[in-house]
Amino acid sequence: MKHKPNFRNNNKRPYRPKNNDNVQVKGLSVIVKDGDINFALRKFKKKVQDSGLLQTLREKEFYTKPSEARKRAKAAGRARHLKKMRNDPLANANPYQRKK
């Protein structure tokens, strides 16, 4: 028995909109104004940094054991808590302490 026939028409060209102004771009994008590539590049780097894309790629580059992931998450939570205590003076106050 021969292979199944492919009923898809692979000769079709992909759809390309005629007007480039209405094109919706998926993912991160920056519009270059007046040919200022350096400004656009800085904006793009900022968007990538804010999205956390590179951090996710670095995390997925190597396998981390579940115990290491828990350890890292616990350390991050502790750091957040200590930062909150450092920045919020009322967080350190004892509610049962007598006022003078």
Tens digit of pLDDT for each residue in 3-36?
665 556 566 666 666 666 666 767 888 888 888 8
Backbone angles phi, psi at 51, to 5 degrees: -75, -20
Cβ contacts of 10 within 8 Å, gap of 6 or more: none
pTM score: 0.48
SS3 sequence, 48-68?
Answer: HHHHCHHHHHHHHHCCCCHHH
Ranges of each domain in the chain: 31-90
Provide mean pLDDT across the span 49-60: 91
Backbone angles phi, psi at 15, to 5 degrees: -70, 130
Residue with tokens 């104004």: 33
d(CA 76, CA 59) in angstroms, rounded, equals 15
